[in-house]
Amino acid sequence: MSKRRTPSMMTTEEAQRQETYIKQIRMQNDLEKSKTSKQKHYYIATFGCQMNAHDSEKLAGMLEQMGYQKTDQENEADFILYNTCCVRENAEQKVYGKLGYLKYLKDMNKDLIIAICGCMMQQDTVLNIIKSKYPHVDIIFGTFNIYKLPELLQTYLETKETVIDIWNEHKDIVEDLPSIRKYKFKASVNIMYGCNNFCTYCIVPYVRGRERSRQPEDILNEIKELVADGVKEIMLLGQNVNSYGKTLKDGISFAQLLRKVNEIEGLKRIRFMTSHPKDLSDELILAMRDCDKVCKSLHLPFQAGSTEILKKMNRKYTKEQYLELAEKIQNTIPDIALTTDIIVGFPGENEEDFKDTLDVVRKVRFSGAYTFIYSKRTGTPAATMEGEVPEEICQRRFNELQEVLQPIVYEKSQEFYGKTVEILVEEKSKNKDSYLTGRTDSGHLVHFEGDTSLIGQFVNVEIIEAKTYYLIGKLAN
């Protein structure tokens, strides 16, 4: 009789297997370094969402363990990795453009290793294009097996032949991957992977697979370790966090998880994304209200205002339901900052439909929004729908949307004027010397003059200027 292994046993085993490859490569790299006294460098370009950014942190963690050091100069790297996104076509075009340039780098340096991974690789059409047009790519893998990078790299080093490893579904959730955080004081934690919603425009369910939640104990332990390592702010990540727990045996809801995370001592702020309106429960709204560490900001994509279009998008809520939900949230948590995603030009969208989108924007008064022109993704149901909206009309609607949205975002930003707010200082300002940048609980960016020793700390600033997309403050201690 074969013994059934628990998933966590399998994942530890797999992580240990990769560990041996990590050690092998590390030894080779150390040996080479002692001979040539040259340090090997890696360069990672990340496209797309926070999920990809977090995957890149794990990939960087493994590369550093294998003896590579990070560089921001692509032409100095010995190992180049593109972690790709396929949500919209322009993200894909960018990758193809850059791959052309890599051919030139490879011609200059035969030892350069080029790897590509992420969502784009999960599509057969893309894989065929890479194989036929970009043969200088050495390692290709997908979204389900990023933890196998050490093994794939070792295989390439041994054979010097292109290594392709793409799975169509996840096998194990491999825990305990080393990870290099961009910030010492804030970190992302996956709570679930994949998506089951199948919004008709979206390629994500096809490239990230079915929804699966991590065990709450694994999540809580990871966060506790991060806090012990100096992390003060956590971003809980999932394509659809509101349905967290539905795939677990002893179902725990996202709201319950949030309450548990809130109890972790030493942790100061909790954020999460992304929420789907159809699954956002009263229980969660109350948990957000009650938990002092949960930031009062919520990203709640509505995508389109027209109930007809929402139906075609398979979003499973109506315009009225979204408006009611937003109102309920704003009434329960009055200082909440709501942000959203909006798509214009979905197939069949007419002027009336588009007006519904503008109407939702005016009624909800978002603090910010990511706005997109619909991009046709082969393989999704919307790709074959009738009523394609001409490009000029999409562009006009997109511009009109900005004209309605921006003054609202500006007015919301003005509400901060003259107030003193607590921010977590994140980094030196990219635009102004001697300035630092931090974020409020609501997620607003604040630039202020201060010493770099404040990075990673909470400080109070008085807001002396409020722009549409950022605030200017001065230290108020």
CA-to-CA distance for 278 and 61, rounded, in angstroms? 36
Task: Decide: is 201 part of the binding site for ligand 5AD (CB under 6 A).
Answer: yes
* Amino acid code (one letter) for 17: R
With binding defined as CB under 6 A, does residue 310 bind ligand SF4? no
Which of these, 85, 276, 89, 86, lies nearest to 192 by C-alpha position? 276
Give 56 or 239: the residue with its C-beta nearer to ligand SF4.
239
The DSSP bridge pattern shows strands 69-70 and 420-428 to be unpaired
CB 426 within 8 A of CB 437: yes
Footprint of ligand 5AD on 59-118 (CB under 6 A): 87-88
- Cα separation, 348 vs 407, in Å, equals 28
439 belongs to the binding site for ligand 5AD (CB under 6 A): no
Question: Residue ranges of the alpha helices (H) in 245-334?
Answer: 254-262, 282-290, 307-312, 319-332
Beta strand 435-440 pairing with 420-428: antiparallel
Tell me if 198 sits within 8 A of 314, measured CB to CB: yes
Rounded CA-CA distance 341/274 in Å is 10
Q: Residue 195 binds which entry of ligand SF4, ligand 5AD, none, with Cβ cut-offs from 5 to 8 Å by kind?
A: ligand SF4
- The item of ligand SF4, ligand 5AD, none sharing an interface with residue 198, based on CB under 5 to 8 Å by kind, is ligand SF4
In angstroms, the CA 42 to CA 52 distance is: 17
Query: x-or-dash pattern for ligand 5AD, window 321-360, by CB under 6 A?
Result: --------------------x-x-----------------
Applying CB under 6 A, among 142, 150, 209, 301 the residue interacting with ligand 5AD is 301
Helix (H) / strand (E) element for 225: namely: helix 216-228
Q: Residue 210 Cβ, how far from ligand SF4 at the closest point, in Å?
A: 11
Please answer whether residues 240 and 212 qualify as being in contact, where contact means their C-beta atoms are separated by less than 8 angstroms.
no
Nearer to ligand SF4 among residue 156 and residue 206 (C-beta): 206
Q: Which is nearer to ligand 5AD, 88 or 439 (CB)?
A: 88
Residue 458, SS3?
strand
Rg (CA), the chain: 23
| CB of 178 or CB of 301, closer to ligand 5AD | 301
* The one-letter amino acid at 27: M
Count helices and strands (H / E) in the chain.
13, 19
Say how many residues touch ligand 5AD, by CB under 6 A: 12
> What is the SS3 assignment for 411-442?
HHHHCCCCCEEEEEEEEECCCCCCEEEEEECC
Give the tokens for residue 294: 């949960």
Binding-site member from 303, 306, 339, 442 for ligand 5AD (CB under 6 A): 303
CA distance 237 to 218: 14
Residue nearest to ligand 5AD (CB): 341
Question: Of 84 and 303, which has the nearer Cβ to ligand 5AD?
Answer: 303
Q: In whole angstroms, how close is the CB of 249 to ligand SF4 at the nearest point?
A: 23
Which residue's entry shows tokens 């059934």? 4
Residue 177 binds which of ligand 5AD, ligand SF4, none (CB < 5-8 A, kind-dependent): none
Q: Segment near ligand 5AD (CB under 6 A), from 60-68, 104-112, 283-291, 372-380?
A: 372-380
Among 46, 65, 190, 240, binds ligand SF4 (CB under 6 A): 240
Cis peptide before 332 (omega within 30 of 0): no
Q: Which does 377 bind (CB under 5 to 8 A by kind): ligand SF4, ligand 5AD, none?
A: ligand 5AD
Q: Does 52 bind ligand 5AD (CB under 6 A)?
A: no
Report the nearest approach of ligand 5AD to the CB of residue 326 (Å).
16
- H-assigned helices in 233-306: 254-262, 282-290
- Nearer residue to ligand 5AD within complex by CB, 215 or 240: 240
Q: For ligand 5AD, which is the closer residue by CB, 83 or 440?
A: 83
In the bound state with ligand 5AD, the residue whose beta carbon lies nearer, of 242 and 303, is 303
Q: Show contacts with ligand SF4 in window 186-215 (CB under 6 A).
A: 195, 197-199, 202, 204-205
What's the length of the chain?
Answer: 477
Q: Which parts of 374-393 interact with ligand 5AD (CB under 6 A)?
A: 374-375, 377
Q: Considering CB distances under 5 to 8 angstroms, the limit depending on partner class, which of ligand 5AD, ligand SF4, none binds residue 343? A: ligand 5AD
Stretch that binds ligand 5AD, among 31-39, 321-329, 371-379, 457-465 (CB under 6 A): 371-379
Residue 276 or 293 having the CB closest to ligand SF4: 276
CB environment 107-142: b (16+ within 10 A), e (fewer) = eeeeebbbbbbbbbbbbeebbeebeeebebbbbbbb
Torsion, Cα of 281, 256, 57, 448 (10° steps): 70
CB of 379 to ligand 5AD, least distance (A): 11
Binding-site ranges for ligand 5AD (CB under 6 A): 87-88, 201-202, 301, 303, 341, 343, 372, 374-375, 377
Interface with ligand SF4 (CB under 6 A): 195, 197-199, 202, 204-205, 239-240, 276
